Amino acid sequence: MKSRFQRRILRRCPGIGMSSYLCCLARAQPKSVTLEVAPNGRYLQRSDGVPFFVQSDTAWTLSRDYSREEVAKYLESRRALKFNTIQMSAVFFVTPAMEAQIGEAFTDGDFAKPVATHRDKVDWTVREATRPGFVVALNPIWGNQRKKPIKKNGVEKCRDLGRRLARRCRDNPGARD
């Protein structure tokens, strides 16, 4: 049975689901300590039962709009400000020219055909953020115009997108098991 927290995320991301949104709750901490939904379903906690307070900065376009040097500076400044979580999106678009923006991430807008350079930059950004110990909350796709490509691709391709992101995050040395 899914918790209220899990059901809320599933309602907001039909087809993509919780596994992808929380797939990169990744961090450079011992593998013996992981994040999980608390038994009451109302908050996150560490596997040792200690509640995890998310002190997050949102950088939706971090992997898309910034150079590697800018990402490194950003992460350094966030560490100095005592953030513990970076919230970002693997694919982010907000303008009416969304077809061009979605094309940066997927060939012909098809979620089954990711563009390697975009995928690699997202993976690199997540690895860089987890190296100093940040949790990364990775949203698979976000933007004002997101409904059109999600409908075009259908539920199964959306689920596959979430699963691919989860597998790639799992391969990150800083990611949880």
Q: Where are the domains of the chain?
A: 4-170
Q: What is this structure's pTM?
A: 0.76
**pLDDT beyond 60 at 20:** no
**pLDDT digits over 127-152, tens only?**
999 888 888 888 888 766 557 788 88
d(CA 44, CA 14): 21
Helix (H) / strand (E) element for 141: namely: strand 135-142
Instruction: Convert the pLDDT of each residue in 106-133 to its tens digit.
Output: 998 899 999 999 999 999 999 999 888 8
